[in-house]
Structure 1
């Protein structure tokens, strides 16, 4: 059944109001009758005649009401139905994500301003109508295309019924931690009816990124889009010259609103049973067979498969982004190999594949040569790995396709092309291998960055983190990093509490407590009293059972840490670190090798030295089911940064923690501002003054994850 909308509830409210009015009229009629009887007229015949006239009037009114009321309700429903299902909105088409071929990579740095209105809409991207949360009534959201060194300004006006927030996935936000858009960590939500201005400079990075909601699971409701940063050296960093450049977003797709799906997922007795998608989209497009979905409001007349027109015998860059909430995709171009040339914003030496594994939030650029002229058109296939789903969905269509047309350049817009008929669909051949049975990353050991950067030979500290789900009170299944299940304070984010705690006026000032986390290279971290001097867990203003907070003292020099994840769960977890890229030092099945777990006692593995010379750098890596992941990260970006599973359902169930970077540096900045009796020198103080009013606005937490206490009586 389709999700309930505000308009559905309007209809229900109307019916209930009609019933209540009829009941009230009946009660009032009874009262009038009693009043008349109380007068006791002397003429009994007059009373009898009046009584029968009144009864006949009531019966006539009742009969007419039985005839007219349903008709009125039917007409009202049709009127509402038209309003619900046929509001005009702009669905993006594939050519909206072709990057500007005349783009000036050498343009002087500038400020690029975007004005967005977020609103509740209804759309049918694949034919099935559903409520959505959209930017400027567009799905997917508008393309942001900038140069490295530019300043991005996004003015957001939230006209939706729920609060919201935008996160800039993979963006460092150096010097502007408070623009990360992470609800409960760096920001409070943008309340309904209010506005917020995001402003940040993109420095020290280029490549393929994206933006999405970071409040609840609103990304799956449509709040997402691509963000492309061009480097002045882009043409030289990409080792294969290409004629066209475009974004290709793949996503799992649900026909119901995320809040209802999330509530069901979090309820008791739902261990490892994530909501299973109904289908998938490429650049917001697909075509469903409405006759196979009798319980859905569906009209696929204007739905279409995405079409990519590629000039023959030319190279073409396709920037794939998995913008979904749950599913891993395997992507292929029939009868074509392709070169992977970028991973999560890191340019790599061309490496050839014919199938691409891509997990939620990951990005891969591929370059495909349109040189197979045996046919005029080919399928791009994007298949979800359904073996990773915990239950069946009878409406699931696991594969979505796009069409590659070999076509000479023309001025004809793709939007003006007729929808392909069955006779014009590609007849290209699928690659023969069987689809994966487990969800895991592409083997990245062969992917080498174009700009070589060696990983530090040793970390300052190594931390072991166990990822798993556990059944707790009320039979609730929750995600854990070690013994912590993340539940951020929506209206008092971690960053705000940190600033308040580090202020000289705070009672806890200069008594920051560090406690130990299970470590490998540093088995006994000190517990200093006074300013932070070590790497460890802060417990003075966070509760580690619901907000694990790992902090480092300074960025001069920056701390290097190893994180070794071991997954005791039968599902995979694409892990994303905000504000940083990390080095991939190893991934695998079962338990981490002994030389990782006990580097001081196990003979040195000579292969490690070779790996450290130029490992892949990225911001999202997957730990497979019952597997392990080893990353090394230089924490050189001061602020508080979320580390979490990017399967939206898992994060909402608790799979997250916070890294506090350069805490001494932040404290020193605040101290200097206090001594100078001015806040001008402290961006952190300015942030606190400017951002905190957001947290007190009406309905600022509307749409948040339900609290576990609602199941106290379960």
Structure 2
């Protein structure tokens, strides 16, 4: 009887197709948002400064969604300058058109609006959004984006009593326009003025209103992101332990920490049990690896609390070389939770990345030097310059020969770029083979910490070690349960290794997440083209997408086809 029913269904489906009747598939839910971007005066670290607000807020509105939701955000730009948002860490499958970088999209012009449409496909975790135009990130326009698991997917911990999103980072009182002018005239960013926590900076013993509330005996989830410009932070809570449960979209082995280093661009979730006396307690953020330490606090208040927080803060980790070793050891303690489910109904550990043959090794060395008397940052000797027409549009319209050359950096840096002697200014685009499994080595010869991010993908962070990388170092890789994430730090005089499958067609940005460096050239784009030119692999240019520059008046190319799709 079952086989007959299957045959009848198949026959009916075939008749529908022959008759030209389309088969409708139910879509995942849609969430709609309307945001207005304006200037406003705020005082995150005690000095009034012009900031970028979204719906009058900093941090901006939080997007609270569920895996596979479709997100529609209509952004009205009321600034006097172009504006563009990126959805940091969201792997927009087949859709670099909505990535929100200057290499993929024309910015939203003043007095106009643009509607972003993307799906948080097969993802869970803690992310954020921020502006990518100029130095606007220094003035706000930043908010949290949290993706919950669908109800049918089990989560490896009980539902917390409440969740709090913590947007923290270094802050400059100059404002982004002054900072951009400073960089454009050849000077460096300099030291930050303080650390903001959800738009505020607290001092020990100050009259700090409580930012978070807890009840004794309950467990709370804190989603913490470092959204700053250049400073690594250490995060801790007075009198409480931190149980790490999620990092950049992956459930982790649930180790317990007294404090956690969170580097620029990184996000994680911790569970905090309210198991202390009902008093007030300080949440503490302090700078890492800086000559002049910075500290900021926020108050966590217990219900029926009796006393103010103690002025004695938990000690920060060690600094200098000892501190780097401490931080590397903490990185090595992070493990992917292979017994937990992912955003799809299959175990995370079913993807055995350590058994896939590497098809390409790319070694990237960051450097800095002056070009024509101005500071520039580079990758393998090339400092990226954004053309007036987004690279993705240039490629889509087939006029790339007029704008850029592929592969001006090689997979192995030349001796001159390794020794920091020569920097060339040019658009920096690497051709990548669709679905290749690549190993990327990030080698830092400088005296400052670096952080790196890859749009459109998660990668396996398999190793960080001091010294220089050689192929023999592969024996030290974690090829079993390295965390799948999208951001990694590289310590001074050290290297890091990541591995990923380039299976997401599009134009994807790999950059320093330290925004001074990205702005001054420490970035490039992977061009990942599907030979099939099929909608199975990549979406067409969305309708009503603004075009600019050289392609503004060109006829739109033939769309991708439906070949291979059903």
- TM > 0.5: yes
| Equivalent-residue separation in structure 1 for 2:172 and 2:406 (angstroms) | 45
The equivalent residue for 2:540 is 684
Contact 1:141 1:225 survives alignment (8 Å): yes
The equivalent residue for 2:558 is none
Q: How many residues align?
A: 500
The reply to whether residue 481 of structure 1 matches residue 364 of structure 2 is no
The equivalent residue for 1:570 is 447
| Equivalent-residue separation in structure 1 for 2:433 and 2:217 (angstroms) | 54
Q: Quick one: structure 1 residues 498 and 442, their matched pair in 2 at CA, closer, same or farther if it must change by over 3 Å?
A: farther
The equivalent residue for 2:458 is 581
* Secondary structure in structure 2 of the residue aligned to 1:501: coil
| Equivalent-residue separation in structure 2 for 1:257 and 1:139 (angstroms) | 14
* Secondary structure in structure 2 of the residue aligned to 1:349: coil
Pairing partner for 2:141 from 223, 236, 246: 223
* Secondary structure in structure 1 of the residue aligned to 2:353: coil
The equivalent residue for 1:201 is 119
| Equivalent-residue separation in structure 1 for 2:281 and 2:83 (angstroms) | 39
Pairing partner for 1:366 from 270, 281, 288: 270
* Secondary structure in structure 2 of the residue aligned to 1:312: coil
The equivalent residue for 2:52 is 133
Pairing partner for 2:290 from 388, 403, 406: 388
* Secondary structure in structure 2 of the residue aligned to 1:187: coil
Structure ID, larger Rg: 1
The equivalent residue for 2:344 is none
Q: Give 1:259 shift.
A: 2.1
Contact 1:337 1:368 survives alignment (8 Å): yes
The equivalent residue for 2:336 is 449
How does 1:47-446 map onto structure 2 within 5 Å?
Answer: 109-183=28-102, 185-232=103-150, 236-239=154-157, 241-268=159-186, 270=187, 273-287=188-202, 304-373=208-277, 376-385=279-288, 387-388=289-290, 398-407=294-303, 424-427=307-310, 429-432=312-315, 434-437=317-320, 443-446=330-333
The reply to whether residue 465 of structure 1 matches residue 465 of structure 2 is no
Pairing partner for 1:547 from 427, 443, 447: 427
Q: Give 1:669 shift.
A: 3.9
- Structure 2: gaps (5+ residues): 1-25, 338-347, 415-422, 553-566
* Cα deviation digits, residues 23-43 of structure 1 (max 9, x gap): xxxxxxxxxxxxxxxxxxxxx
Q: Quick one: structure 1 residues 620 and 460, their matched pair in 2 at CA, closer, same or farther if it must change by over 3 Å?
A: same
The reply to whether residue 517 of structure 1 matches residue 410 of structure 2 is yes
Contact 2:94 2:538 survives alignment (8 Å): no
Q: Quick one: structure 1 residues 513 and 425, their matched pair in 2 at CA, closer, same or farther if it must change by over 3 Å?
A: closer
Q: Give 1:351 shift.
A: 0.8
Q: Give 1:194 shift.
A: 1.0
Contact 1:189 1:695 survives alignment (8 Å): no
Q: Quick one: structure 1 residues 544 and 230, their matched pair in 2 at CA, closer, same or farther if it must change by over 3 Å?
A: farther
The equivalent residue for 1:496 is 393
Q: Quick one: structure 1 residues 223 and 442, their matched pair in 2 at CA, closer, same or farther if it must change by over 3 Å?
A: farther
RMSD: 3.1
| Equivalent-residue separation in structure 2 for 1:612 and 1:160 (angstroms) | 47
| Equivalent-residue separation in structure 2 for 1:444 and 1:306 (angstroms) | 31
The reply to whether residue 655 of structure 1 matches residue 522 of structure 2 is yes
Higher strand share: 2
Q: Quick one: structure 1 residues 513 and 381, their matched pair in 2 at CA, closer, same or farther if it must change by over 3 Å?
A: closer
Q: Give 1:304 shift.
A: 4.3
Higher helix share: 1
How does 1:5-84 map onto structure 2 within 5 Å?
Answer: none
* Cα deviation digits, residues 513-547 of structure 1 (max 9, x gap): 77782349xx9xxxxxxxxxxxxxxxxxxx98522
Q: Give 1:235 shift.
A: 7.8
* Secondary structure in structure 1 of the residue aligned to 2:182: helix
| Equivalent-residue separation in structure 1 for 2:208 and 2:95 (angstroms) | 41
Q: Give 1:313 shift.
A: 1.6
